[in-house]
Amino acid sequence: MSDLFQQTILVSMFAAMLRIAAPLMLASIGELVVQRSGIWFLGVEGSMLMSAFAAYTAALSSGSMYVGLLAAVLTGIAVHLSMAIAAVTFKINQFVTGLGINLLASGLTLFLYRESLKSYGSGNIPTVDPFETVAIPGLSRIPVLGEILFDQHLFTYFAFLMVFVAWYFLYRTRYGLELRSLGENPKALDTKGLSVSRRQYAALAFGGFMAGLAGAVLVLALTDRFVPGMTGGRGWLAIVIIIAGNWKPVPIMLAVLVFAFLEAFQLQAQGVGLQIPYQLLLALPYIVAIIAMMGIRVRSEQPAHLGVPYHRE
Amino acid sequence: MNAVANPPHLRVEGLTKTFGPVIANSDVSFQVERGEILCLLGENGAGKSTLSSCLYGFYQADKGRIFYEGKEVEFHSPRDAIACGIGMVHQHFVLVTPMSVIENIVLGTHEHGWALGVEEAERRVRDLCGRYDIDLDLDAKIWQLSVGEQQWVEIVKALYLGAELLILDEPTAVLTPQESDKLFRIIRRMTGDGLSIIMISHKLNEVMQSDHVAVLRRGKIVDTVRTADVTKEDLTSMMVGRPVMLQAEREDMEPGETILEVAGLRVRNDKDQHAVKGMSFKVHAHEILGIAGVSGNGQNELFEALMGVRDTDSGQIWLHGEDVTHQNPRQMVEHGIGYIPDDRFRAGLVGSFSVAENTILGLQKNPRFSDGPLLNFRRILNFANEAIKRFGIVTPGPHARTDTLSGGNAQKIILAREFWSASCCILANQPTRGLDVGVIEYVHQMLLEKRRDGFAIVLASEELEDILALSDRIAVVFKGEIMGVFRSDEVDIQKLGLLMAGQRDAAAQSDGKPYVKVV
């Protein structure tokens, strides 16, 4: 085998890694902000799935990818805000609500998808015309590195940019300070006369925006159609990633890259026909996630008030 | 007249606040002059905290008017109260522990828009600290500070927001005597600058440092008096509604044989750090050993280890000379140890169980209360009725849910149970925390009665006066170590206070004698 061939495989694997990383990163950063506000939202998976379906349907019916994108983002925000109503306003158990949203999302999208299939006619599943990658002039010409880093979807650039935006917001602004306090001790804000619930609504709206984008990426960039259950546990992985990243943006980015690498490796390994059962390869990211969950003992940055509804008393 | 020219700093008229059927405050009226300390005195549940929360806009009163400097004001949220110039220091601090002092102080303010802009805030805070001689490391994280320092953060936080009237809720509950002296010195300097203070307290020593006292009983103001005109005894009977014996009489008694002995005990806390670092002591029959210390210095871990609830890392525990290290709580109960935990509803009772069930909690295998695997409710009810009568537990009956009882009556259930099952030793961790004066008096008498009966008693309390009055010997704990053990007639509150703050050298100098560790 020639060096060139090996190099091509590596380049395409690492480029795939970054592509795969984008939706995970978007969902994780969104969920980070939600959890920092003290809300343990387990419904990321459902929110992404609903957004993906919305992106598909809207893009098909309007013929515009941008309308699809907008629909996905609005759906994500709506799903997250339904969590806000339940968990912040009515103080319903956050775990139950999150799980309920996931169940609802998987059932509802499956039902609506089957309904829409009837109108398309059988065996004739329409596809969207996905967004192209955007090569950055100059930079993308750099051999190897340029091909990996600078010929990606806009979503990917945006996802990585958001890691640093989130970091700057959390640690360098007054509102970031408030957000971090919210998860640690919401009463500290309340006793200064600042609304806890308004800030938690805002955090969830941002989380919904990011989950909506993540769902859109799956349909409008990584593939060209909606498939029921296509999120495939990415929303759950986002929650694992936050724990693995100890609720900090940059470690979260590293955790995303690890999981994205495993996924890319798995795809590549299937492609070149390694003699490993493909089921095992498919399961690889999740096996690593379980091992990571068992191994991670440091949760020093976990917000102290995470998952506890705030009551005045 | 003068009063017309200078309206009171804050005046409250006819304030009423109810929670459903419970009346927390009823027609409360009082006023605070500029530059004075007003103390709100009352027992638990008298409505002090609700009243202060109404003044701070945290709760909205149902009825009544509030005047700030003569102008009527209405507080819909703490924001309105802050804008007016009212600041509050809550009894349970509301600080974000992983963050720094300065971050806690600027939290929620936006003088620089989005930017953090901490440098300028630091300058202002340093000015404030300088004016009142408050020593604070602004970059330290809250969790690194002692509770005394955290209190200063809370006060500076309120001053930073421009407070001119400070509400201090039980400000010295967690302070050593020296720290609370310092607090009052600084508060006096603040009132000299024209600030006013409303202080909530049930500790008479502090109340005596105020200018006026408003006594609350069952949500109503019973009387407002000039502090200089009254004695502690007057205030107590106003607060309770009847004369109370302030200190129980402890008769002289020769200690008997050693009952409980502990050597080199090391115990870890929930965070896996050593909370008890090599404690050794003996307790004899007819003896109360007092454990003095600011809470959180290893007391809870010590008691849990003695009771077998928490395993020990190293060291040994003997009971009647028998090694009982690493035994489980059931075995400790069978050895005759009674345990009064500090948090009665978390570790001593099940709130949703009936009074009768709680009187035998943990004793259900005792043949007196069960026939094989079945509980014998007839005998349990008899026992509960007996306990209700003997301990004067106020309850609709043995079937009432325990969480409907007041703290004092709930505590009496624990006393009834533990005093019945114990045969040689009582471990009492903060047995009077949050109780009314009358019940405190009762608990003290019960402990002294057990001492007379020949029990060995270990008693931890944050109230130094109780420790001094009840104990034969006092062990002072600081950061998991015993700083010294003293006969209670040979030590004074000043020295105990210094040791509670870990200042061994200063304590040794305070009476000119090097301190001797008498074990």
What DSSP letter does each residue of B260-279 carry, written as one string? Answer: EEEEEEEEE-TTSSEEEEEE
Residue showing tokens 């039980």: B170
Task: Write down the pLDDT at residue B517.
Answer: 46
> What gap in Å lies between CA B48 and CA B40, rounded to an integer?
7
B4: alpha, beta or left, given left = phi > 0 and alpha = psi -120 to 50?
alpha
CA dist B29 and B219 (Å) reads: 11
Contact B97 A177 (CB under 8 A): no
The first and second tokens of residue B108, run together, are: 């929620």
Comparing CB atoms, the residue among B80, B82, B107 nearest residue A177 is B107
Q: By C-alpha distance, which of A100, A68, A111 is closest to A219?
A: A68
Q: Which of residues 400-459 of B touch A (CB under 8 A)?
A: none
- pLDDT tens-digit map of B263-290: 999 999 887 889 999 999 999 999 999 9
* A189–chain B Cβ distance below 8 A for any pair: yes
Cα–Cα distance for residue pair B441/A82, rounded to 1 Å? 54
- Per CB-CB distance under 8 Å, the chain A contacts of B79 are 192-194
Per-residue pLDDT of chain A in tens (313 residues, 90 and over written 9): 567 778 888 888 999 999 999 999 999 999 999 999 999 999 999 999 999 999 999 999 999 999 999 999 999 999 999 999 999 999 999 999 999 999 999 999 999 999 988 887 767 788 999 999 999 888 888 888 888 898 899 999 999 999 999 999 999 999 999 999 999 999 999 999 999 999 999 999 999 999 999 999 999 999 999 999 999 999 999 999 998 899 999 999 999 999 999 989 888 887 777 777 878 877 888 888 888 778 776 667 899 999 999 988 6
The token pair at A61 is 């019916």
- B206-260 pLDDT, tens digit per residue, is 899 999 999 998 889 999 999 999 998 889 888 888 777 666 678 888 899 999 9
Residues 68-107 in A contacting B (C-alpha not used; CB under 8 Å): none
Task: Check if the beta carbon of residue B59 is closer than 8 Å to that of residue B18.
Answer: no
Of A172, A304, A312, the CB nearest to B116: A172
Residues near A5 by beta carbon (within 8 Å), at least 6 away in sequence: none
Backbone angles phi, psi at A172, to 5 degrees: -125, 5
User: Taking CA atoms, what residue in A is nearest to B110?
Assistant: A174
Quickly list DSSP for B469-494: HH-SEEEEEETTEEEEEEEGGG--HH
State whether residue A67 sits within 8 Å of chain B by CB: no
Highest mean pLDDT among A235-239, B268-272, B405-409, B488-492: A235-239
Enter the DSSP assignment of B229: G
Q: Is the ipTM of this complex over 0.90?
A: no
Tokens 């902000």 found at: A33
CA atoms within 13 A of residue A131's CA, in its CB half-sphere: 25
Contacts of A178 in chain B (CB under 8 A): 107-108
Asked if A177 and B103 come within 8 Å (Cβ–Cβ), the reply is yes
Determine which of A109-123, B338-352, B498-512 has the lowest per-residue pLDDT on average.
Answer: B498-512
The partner residue sitting opposite B78, judged by closest CB among A174, A184, A193, is A193
Q: Mark yes or no for CB contact B94/A312 under 8 Å.
A: no
Three-point CA angle B245, B495, B129, nearest 5°: 100
Q: Kindly state whether A173 is in contact with chain B, defined as any CB-CB distance less than 8 angstroms.
A: yes
Which of B81, B104, B116 has its CB closest to that of A173?
Answer: B116
The whole-angstrom separation of Cα A37 and Cα A304 is 11
Would you call A185 helix, strand, or coil by DSSP? coil
- Cα distance between residue A99 and residue B245, in whole Å: 58
Compute CA A282 distance to the chain's CA centroid, rounded to the nearest angstrom.
Answer: 19
B87 bridge partner residues: B166
**For the residues B490-494, what does the mean pLDDT come to?**
86
Q: Compute CA distances B446 → A21, A65, B452, whole Å.
A: 67, 79, 10
- Distance separating alpha carbons of residues B30 and A132, to the nearest angstrom: 73
Looking at the complex, report in whole angstroms how far the Cα of residue A280 sits from the nearest Cα belonging to chain B.
Answer: 38
φ/ψ of residue B405, rounded to 5: -85, 155
Whether A181 sits inside 8 A of B96 (CB atoms) is yes
Residue B216 CA to residue B39 CA, distance in Å, equals 10
Distance CA B362, CA B364 (A): 6
C-alpha span between B94 and B378 (Å, rounded): 48
Count Cβ–Cβ pairs < 8 Å, chain A vs chain B. 71
Superfamily of domain B2-240: P-loop containing nucleotide triphosphate hydrolases (3.40.50.300)
Strands B22-32 and B370-371: unpaired
B58 in contact with A, Cβ within 8 Å: yes
User: Which CATH fold topology does A3-295 show?
Assistant: ABC transporter involved in vitamin B12 uptake, BtuC (1.10.3470)
Chain B contact for A139, CB < 8 A?
no
Tokens of B191: 């009132």
CATH number for the domain running over B258-350+425-510: 3.40.50.300
Contact A184 B96 (CB under 8 A): yes
Q: Residue B20's Cα: distance from chain center in Å?
A: 28
Residues of A in contact with B78 (CB under 8 A): 190-193
Q: Which of A48, A51, A214, A225 is nearest to A129 (CA)?
A: A225
Complete DSSP assignment for B199-228: EEE--HHHHTTSSEEEEEETTEEEEEEEGG
Q: How far is CA B368 from CA A296, B374, B378, in A?
A: 49, 12, 11
Domain ranges, ordered by start, for chain A? 3-295
Q: Do A185 and B97 make contact, defined as CB atoms within 8 angstroms?
A: yes
Interfacial A residues in 192-251 facing B (CB < 8 Å): 192-194
Domain B2-240 shares a fold with domain B258-350+425-510: yes
pLDDT at B514 over 50: no
Per the model's pLDDT, the better-predicted residue between B479 and B44 turns out to be: B479
Ordered by start, the domain boundaries in chain B are 2-240, 258-350+425-510
Contact in structure between A178 and A36 (CB atoms under 8 Å): no
